[in-house]
Amino acid sequence: MRPRRSLAIALAISILTTVLFAGAATAADPIDDGVSTSPSHQHGTNEGHLLGTGAWGKIDLVGVAELYDATDPDLGPGLIADVGVDPDGDYAYLANWGFPDCAGPESGGKKSPDAGIYVVDIADLTNPTLVNFIPTAQDTRPGEGVQVANITTKFFSGDILAFNHEACGKNYKGGFALWDVSNPLKPKRLAVGVGDRTINGSRRQVADANETHSVFIWDAGDRAYLVAQDEYETSDVDIFDITNPRRPKLIAEYDLNALGISQPELGLTDSFLHDMTVKQIGDRWIMLLSYWDGGYVQLDVTDPANAFLVAESDFAVVDPLFPSITPPEGNAHQAEFTADNRFVIGTDEDFDPYRFEINTDDGDTARAKAATQTTADEAAAIEGQTVFVGRGCNGDTAVPSAPADGGPYVAVVERGLCTFEEKVANIEAAGGYSAVIIFNRQGSDACNAVLSPFLTNDALPVILTTREAGFDFFDLSFDLDACLAGTGINPFQTLDIGTQGDLITGVDPAFDGWGYVHLFDAATMTDLDQYAIPEAMDPAFAEGFGDLSVHEVAVDPLDPSLAYLSYYAGGLRAVQIQCGNPADTSTCELVEVGGYLDPEGNNFWGVETLVRDGVTYILASDRDSGLWIFVDP
């Protein structure tokens, strides 16, 4: 635990650097590759399915609403994203996330179907029915942050639908949207495309608001607020006053890394906001933030303009489910307080079940992750002479062809400025390389962190390693503290393109599982226990069975011991907090008590709960079909 400090004070004394931009010179530069925050890089691929036998234990299937035909070649799987439900439990709202490049996978370049929000009448839970669709602007995608809340202020009284704007295509619209859905059949637009328009204090050179991945709204009495994740800024916790929802006003921005919540000594420097909820606990409003490698964080936002740290979690030095693995994965994705506020359940999202160790001829080793298009076998087969090829971006010094003799040759490219896709395409076009190693850039969210680059180009195997490893390949001196501070000297700016470095003698794979679940003591954020489905811990299911990472959690409003997990291709799972000594949280653990996995497979993204007639129902959004409704029998 770290001492409580005012965020306003911490931010005032911190030196903010533009760490989301690799070598960015102006606010108009593109984000360097988007892996840290782009939703298209957090939700994996859809390769195969784990097949089930239906419902078991404390879960029964009630009804299904198929919202589109995933077998249509112009649509394909993966269109559905998050799910929300109105306070009365009469309507469900599901995001049509679409495709991140604004084109369907088999559409031959045609735009994907209009994105927006499906409105589903769930008055009859056994027969949910699509009754409306709220479209977004072209090239705008709602994804993670679909929520409906009742807001009552002097300016507005009724139900507000809030959702995020993820941008793509030439129009590239960001921000968030607020709609009056007091009558879901006749929704009224309140505010669309609203959000912060600056990047770390500098005005953007475009008119659109910053892209956001998730939003959450709450009614605090006389005033109402919204918190939005900001894709473009280090101060990525943006709080808006929406007391007048037609005129949202930005009132606070926070960078939680200014409080030292990350653990760079473990290489966990990919620390940014991903998701958040806000709950009234006693007379205080507590925001629970999932801050990826920064862990799970509680802020007191009773006064949103002067928030302060309440508690935060740390990742263990050794992965609790894989004692041979260090450091752990990080990836704090989404969390909720249990109904009695005694516990927090958090979900770590991880789509790469392998990590790798690079070995060189001078005895050095380095951690690495494979790109999304590179199999574990392909990554493990990488070997050869390293060649520095620069940054690999269009407009930079051209990537040279590999030497005509000797080999094999491995292109070593610096992360930064342009996309991974652009770098790899330029290396492939240069010719002669058998593989690509990308080493991380400078910045507080980079340096010795490793991640899986999102790529569709499958011509060359690609792995990403630490910045220190890139220095080691060419016998250059590395200063981790300066790298994290963004002040390190970059010798690669003067190193000759084509310089040969160490020989890669092998890349050893280590299975470290898919993303799993944590149980925390809410008062201390001590990690009490972890849960994972068996297949996610078995290397036999590492490829070919879909994504076996957990995604989201929804707690049971009536039973503080129960929670429900959307587990992508692992289906829906019900877990129960069981304690050896009810008075001692250290004796508590998460135990699976039910679930559902269809005989033809599922791909659950979102999960929410509602109570009707004293019974808890569970709503889950299947990426490949639509809304599925369950009950605890």
Query: Global pTM?
Result: 0.86
- What CATH code is carried by the domain that includes residue 258? 2.130.10.10
Q: Which of 460, 492, 511 is the last residue of a domain?
A: 511
Please tell me the distance from the alpha carbon of residue 210 to that of residue 199, in angstroms, as a whole number.
Answer: 8
Output Rg (C-alpha) for the chain, integer angstroms.
Answer: 24
CB within 8 A of 633, min separation 6: which ones? 58, 59, 60
From the number of C-beta atoms within 10 Å of its C-beta (0-12, 13-18, 19+), residue 198 rates as: middle
Which of 84, 87, 83, 91 lies closest to 128, judged by CA? 91
- Regarding whether 335 and 392 lie in a shared domain, the answer is no
HEC profile of 395-464: CCCCCCCCCCCCCCEEEEEECCCCCHHHHHHHHHHHCCEEEEEEECCCCCCCCCCCCCCCCCCCCCCEEE
Q: Which of 470, 488, 511 is the last residue of a domain?
A: 511
Report if residue 366 sits inside a domain.
yes
Count of beta carbons in the 10 Å neighbourhood of residue 363: 8
- Regarding whether 399 and 345 lie in a shared domain, the answer is no
Range of the domain at 403: 354-511
Structure tokens at 46: 């859809």
- What CATH code is carried by the domain that includes residue 382? 3.50.30.30
- Regarding whether 422 and 396 lie in a shared domain, the answer is yes
Question: Do 498 and 389 meet the contact criterion of CB atoms below 8 Å apart?
Answer: yes
- Regarding whether 129 and 66 lie in a shared domain, the answer is yes
- Regarding whether 422 and 330 lie in a shared domain, the answer is no
Question: Do 365 and 471 meet the contact criterion of CB atoms below 8 Å apart?
Answer: no
State the total domains in the chain.
2
Please tell me the distance from the alpha carbon of residue 369 to that of residue 41, in angstroms, as a whole number.
Answer: 14
pLDDT, tens only, 217-265: 999 999 999 999 998 888 899 999 999 999 999 999 999 999 989 888 8
- Beta strand segments in 454-493, E: 462-465
Q: Which of 511, 534, 563 is the last residue of a domain?
A: 511
- Regarding whether 363 and 316 lie in a shared domain, the answer is no
- Regarding whether 532 and 485 lie in a shared domain, the answer is no
Please tell me the predicted confidence (pLDDT) of residue 311. 97
Report if residue 1 sits inside a domain.
no
Report if residue 86 sits inside a domain.
yes
Report if residue 530 sits inside a domain.
yes
Q: Which helix (H) or strand (E) holds 468?
A: helix 467-473
CB within 8 A of 299, min separation 6: which ones? 7, 254, 286, 287, 289, 307, 308, 309, 310
- Regarding whether 360 and 263 lie in a shared domain, the answer is no
Question: Do 616 and 632 meet the contact criterion of CB atoms below 8 Å apart?
Answer: yes
Please tell me the distance from the alpha carbon of residue 503 to that of residue 298, in angstroms, as a whole number.
Answer: 46
Report if residue 581 sits inside a domain.
yes
- Regarding whether 536 and 484 lie in a shared domain, the answer is no
Report if residue 2 sits inside a domain.
no
Q: Which residues of the chain register pLDDT less than 50?
A: 1-42, 105-112
- Note if the bond before 327 is cis, omega within 30 degrees: yes
- Regarding whether 449 and 591 lie in a shared domain, the answer is no
Q: Which spans in 297-408 are helix H?
A: 376-380
Which of 13, 166, 173 lies closest to 82, judged by CA? 166
Q: Which helix (H) or strand (E) holds 10?
A: helix 7-13
- Helices H / strands E in the chain, number of each: 5, 40
- Regarding whether 44 and 64 lie in a shared domain, the answer is yes
- Regarding whether 528 and 489 lie in a shared domain, the answer is no
Question: Do 222 and 153 meet the contact criterion of CB atoms below 8 Å apart?
Answer: yes
Please tell me the predicted confidence (pLDDT) of residue 8. 40
